[in-house]
Amino acid sequence: MSLSSRLQRFSEPETLRMAKMGRELRAKGFDVIDLSLGEPDFDTPAHIKDAAKKAVEENWSHYPPVAGYPDLREAICTKLKRDNNLDYKPENILVSTGAKQSIANLIMALVDTGDEVVIPTPYWVSYSEIVKMSEGVPVMIRTGAREGYKVSPEQVDAAITPKTKLFMFSSPCNPTGAVYSKAELEGLAEVFRKHPQVYIMSDEIYEYINYNGKHESIAQFDDIKDRVIIINGLSKGFAMTGYRLGYIAGDPAIVKACEKIQGQITSGANAVTQRAAITALTADLKPSLEMVKEFGERKKVIMSLLNNIPGVTCNEPDGAFYVFPDVSSYFGKSDGTTKVNNADELCFYILENAHVTTVTGKAFGEDKCIRIAFTNSLPKIEEGMARIKGVLGKLH
C-alpha cells in the first residue's frame, strides 16, 4: 500500500494509545485502573443535557454555519467578558469540533513549510505533531521542575528567530499543571512586543480547573492582543469531552482563515452540541466549580500518596488534573526479570504488573517523568497508587 508521506511525519497520540492498551488488558479479564485519560470522570451537568435533548426535539438537525451559530458566538463573547474581562465580538470567534480541531485549523492557517513554532516543554502531545503534519518545525524550550515547568522571558527571546511564526503554550498546563501568573505573562508579553512577527497560541482549556483562584490570559495585554489566539472549549470545564466543542478568540482575519479551512474539512461543529454549549456557557458555573473542588481533594490525596513513594519527586500542580512525577531514579533498575530503562518502559512495567494505565513523559517532551491523571474516583486513585508503589518497590 502506498500511503502519504505526511503519515511518516507524526505519531499517534500516546495518551490514546495507552488507554487502548488498558482496554485490551481489561477485555482479557484484568482489573485495570485507568489513570491515563485526560477527561473528567464526571457526567455532563443535567441542565446542559436537557438543553441538548431540547435541541434534538426542536430539530437542530441541519448544517450549522461553518463559524458557529451567531448566538453561540455571542455567548462565547459574554463568557470571555464575564470570566476574563476580555472584549471580543462574534467576528473574533470561531466554533469548532473541539480545541484539538481549533489548534489544527490555526496551525494550518498560520504555518508554512519550514516555519518555526516555539513550544515550551513539557507540552500537550498534539502540539508538536500537528505542527509536523503542517510541515512546520517545532522548536522546543526545555523547562524543569525547579522553575515550576514554566518558561522564562529570556528563554523565549533566545528561541525566537526570523523564521519563528508562532509560540504555543497552555496555562494551566497539560501535563505539569503549571499555571502562569499575571506577572509571568507580562514578562512573556514584553518579549513578544520585541518580535512583532510572532503569533501566540494561548491554550486555556483548563481555565476552570485552577486551584489558585484566578485564571489569567495573555490576551489581557492590549498591545499584543491582536496576535494572541485563545484556544478554549467545553471538554474539561463542563465534562463534555464527547460533545466535541472548542473555539478560538482572535483577530478576525485569523478567524476567517480558520473558517476557510474548517469549511472544507468539517463544515463546523455538531448542531445539537452548539445549542447545549450556549446553556453551558451562560448558566451558573456551580456544577463546574463543584467538580473542580472534588479534583482539588483528589489532588491533595494523590500528592500525599506520591510523596510516600521512595525516589519519586513531584511538583504540586496549580491547575488541570494531572500529576507529573519525576520517576527517573527507577531507570536502570530491575525486578530480577525485567529491567526498566526509561519512562516508556516504566509505564509498560506499571501497566503489565500493576494493571494501572499512566502515560510516558516522553510523549510530552520530558522523559524523566510519567503523567498520572486523577480523573478517577478516590478509591480507584488510592488503589492505583498503592499498586504503583508496590511494583516500584520491586525494582532494585
Q: Does 276 participate in binding ligand PMP (rule CB under 6 A)?
A: no
Classify each residue of 185-196 as buried b or exposed e, where b means 16 or more C-beta atoms within 10 Å of its C-beta. Answer: bebbbebbeeee
Q: Does 105 participate in binding ligand PMP (rule CB under 6 A)?
A: no
Residue entry with cell 513549510: 113
Closest approach of ligand PMP to the CB of residue 128, in Å:
13
Q: Does 38 participate in binding ligand PMP (rule CB under 6 A)?
A: yes
Q: Does 237 participate in binding ligand PMP (rule CB under 6 A)?
A: no
Based on CB atoms, which residue is closest to ligand PMP, 109 or 354? 109
Q: Does 100 participate in binding ligand PMP (rule CB under 6 A)?
A: yes
Based on CB atoms, which residue is closest to ligand PMP, 41 or 383? 41
| C-alpha gyration radius of the chain | 21
Closest approach of ligand PMP to the CB of residue 17, in Å:
14
Percent helix, strand, coil in the chain, to 5, is: 45, 15, 40
Q: Does 205 participate in binding ligand PMP (rule CB under 6 A)?
A: yes
Residues 157-196 that bind ligand PMP (CB under 6 A): 170, 174
Is the omega angle on the peptide bond into residue 172 within 30 degrees of 0, that is, cis? yes
Among 40, 68, 120, 246, binds ligand PMP (CB under 6 A): 246
Maximum Cα–Cα distance across the chain: 64
Taking CB atoms, the residue at the shortest distance from ligand PMP is 98
- Spatial separation of the C-alpha atoms in residues 37 and 15, rounded to whole Å: 7
Could you give the string, one character per residue 108-147, with x where binding to ligand PMP holds by CB under 6 A and - elsewhere?
----------------x-----------------------
253, three cell numbers: 482575519
Among 36, 121, 235, 358, binds ligand PMP (CB under 6 A): 235
The helix/strand/coil state of 61 is coil
331, three cell numbers: 531507570
Q: Does 241 participate in binding ligand PMP (rule CB under 6 A)?
A: yes
DSSP symbols for 237-274:
TTT-GGG--EEEE--HHHHHHHHHHHHHHTSSS-HHHH
Interacting stretch for ligand PMP, rule CB under 6 A, among 59-67, 98-106, 208-216, 368-376?
98-106
The helix/strand/coil state of 285 is coil
Q: Does 90 participate in binding ligand PMP (rule CB under 6 A)?
A: no
Which residues, 6 or more positions from 97, have their beta carbon under 8 angstroms from its beta carbon? 244, 245, 246, 266, 268, 269, 270
Based on CB atoms, which residue is closest to ligand PMP, 69 or 124? 124
Among 83, 116, 203, 318, binds ligand PMP (CB under 6 A): 203
> Minimal CA–CA distance to 102: which of 74, 86, 124, 118?
124
Instruction: Give the residues lining the site for ligand PMP (CB under 6 A).
Output: 38, 98-100, 124, 170, 174, 203, 205, 233, 235, 241, 246
